[in-house]
Chains A and B, each alone.
Chain A
Amino acid sequence: MNKIENVSRRFVLKGAAATGGLVLATSVGMRRAMAETVDLSYKTGASAMPHGVVTNPKVFVSIAPDGMVTIIAHRSEMGTGVRTSLPMIVADEMGADWTRCHVQQAVGNEEKYGNQDTDGSRSTRHFLIPMRQIGAAAAAMLASAAAKRWGVDVKDVKVENHEVIHVADGKKLGFGELAAAAAAEPVPPVESLKLKDPSEFRYIRKGKVQIVDLHDITTGHATYGIDAKLPGMKFAVIARPPVVGGKVKSFDASEAMKVPGVEKVVEVKGWPWPSVFQPVGGVAVVARNTGSAIKGREALKIVWDDGPNASYDSAAYRTEMQDAARKGGKVVRNLGDADAALKSADKVITGEYYLPHIAHASMEPPAALANVKDGKIEAWACVQSAGGTRDTLAKTFNMKVDDVTVHPTLLGGGFGRKSKCDFVIEAALLSQAVGAPVKVVWTREDDIQHDFYHTVSFERIEAGVKDGKVVAWKHRSVAPTIGSTFVKGANQQIPIELGMSFVDVPFNIPNIRCENPAIDAHTRIGWFRSVSNIPHGFAQQTFVAELAHALGKDQKEMLLELLGTEGPIDPRKQIDGQLWNYGEPYESYPIDPRRLRGVVEHVAEKAGWGRTVPKGHGLGIAAIRSFVSYIATVVEVAVDDKGNITIPRVDTAIDCGSFVNPERIESQIEGAAVMGISVAKYGSLTFKNGRAEQGNFDTFQVARIDDAPGQTNVWIMDSGWTLPPSGVGEPGVPPFMPALCNAIFAATGKRLRTMPIGDQLKA
Chain B
Amino acid sequence: MLKLRVNGTEVSYDGDPSVPLLWVLRDELGLTGTKFGCGAALCGACTVHLDGQATRSCTLQVSDAAGHAITTIEGLHPSGDHPVQKAWREANVPQCGYCQAGQIMSAAALLAQNPHPKDEEIHEAMSGNICRCGCYKRIEQAVRVAATGV
Contact = CB atoms under 8 A, between A and B. Distances in A.
Interface of A: 77-81, 210-211, 213-215, 217-224, 226-227, 229, 235, 259-261, 288-292, 294-295, 361-365, 410-415, 441, 443-444, 663, 667-668, 670-675, 678, 696-698, 702-706, 708-709, 711-712
A79 B95 contact: yes
Contacts of B97: 79, 213, 217, 222, 410, 412
Give the residue among B16, B38, B76, B133 with the most A Cβ atoms within 10 A.
B133
B96 A290 contact: no
A215 B89 contact: yes
Contacts of B101: 217-218, 220
Contacts of B33: 219-221
A762 B2 CA distance: 51
11 contacts: A211-B92, A226-B36, A229-B30, A291-B22, A291-B27, A295-B19, A363-B132, A410-B98, A412-B98, A670-B137, A704-B130
Contacts of B133: 79, 363, 413, 671, 674
Interface in B21-53: 22-24, 26-28, 30-40, 42-43, 45
Contacts of A706: 123, 127
Contacts of B45: 363
A88 B140 CA distance: 28
Contact of B89 (A210, A441, A667): A210
Given A218-B88, A220-B72, A705 B32 contact: no
A708 B97 CA distance: 18
Interface string B96-130: 11111100100000000000000000110011011
Given A289-B19, A696-B40, A667 B85 contact: no
B134 A674 contact: yes
Interface string B63-98: 000000000111010001000010011001011111
B54 interface: no
Contacts, number: 200
A78 B96 contact: yes
Given A261-B16, A295-B16, A702 B85 contact: no
A224 B34 CA distance: 11
Contact of A362 (B38, B39, B40, B132): B132
A645 to B, nearest CB: 16
Contacts of A213: 94, 97
Contacts of A221: 33, 74
A292 B19 contact: yes
B26 A217 contact: no
A363 B98 contact: yes
A412 B134 contact: no
A229 B29 CA distance: 11
A679 B134 CA distance: 12
A377 to B, nearest CB: 22
B123 A705 contact: yes
**Dominant SS at the B interface?**
loop
Contact of A444 (B16, B18, B37, B96): B37
A80 B42 CA distance: 25
Given A444-B39, A444-B40, A697-B42, A675 B32 contact: no
Contacts of B98: 224, 362-364, 410, 412-413
A675 B22 CA distance: 27
A708 B137 CA distance: 7
B145 interface: no
Contacts of A365: 36-37
Nearest to A229: B30
Nearest to B79: A219
Nearest to B13: A289
Contacts of B40: 444, 696-698
A673 B132 CA distance: 11
A415 to B, nearest CB: 8
A52 to B, nearest CB: 27
A511 B49 CA distance: 63
B5 interface: no
Nearest to A673: B134
Nearest to A215: B80
B96 A410 contact: yes
B4 interface: no
A527 B135 CA distance: 22
A6 to B, nearest CB: 14
A587 B98 CA distance: 39
A708 B136 contact: yes
A363 B92 contact: no
Nearest to B122: A705
B22 A667 contact: no
Contacts of B130: 363, 697, 702, 704
A217 B94 contact: yes
A289 B23 contact: yes
Contacts of B43: 363, 444, 697
B132 A413 contact: yes
B147 interface: no
Nearest to B20: A291
Contact of B126 (A414, A667, A705): A705
Contacts of B139: 705
Given A227-B32, A291-B22, A220 B74 contact: yes
A364 B97 CA distance: 10
Given A704-B127, A708-B140, 13 more contacts: A210-B92, A218-B94, A219-B73, A220-B101, A291-B27, A292-B16, A364-B37, A415-B132, A667-B92, A698-B40, A702-B130, A708-B137, A709-B137
A362 B15 contact: no
B94 A261 contact: no
A503 B139 CA distance: 39
Nearest to A414: B96
B131 interface: yes
A229 B31 CA distance: 11
Contacts of B42: 444, 696-698
A416 to B, nearest CB: 13
Nearest to B30: A229
Contacts of B34: 220
B35 A363 contact: yes
Contacts of B89: 210, 214-215, 218
Contacts of B85: 218-219
A-B CB proximity, top 7 nearest: A220-B33, A674-B134, A412-B98, A291-B19, A79-B96, A291-B23, A220-B73
Contacts of B76: 219
A215 B76 CA distance: 13
Given A226-B35, A670-B134, A218 B80 contact: yes
A289 B58 CA distance: 13
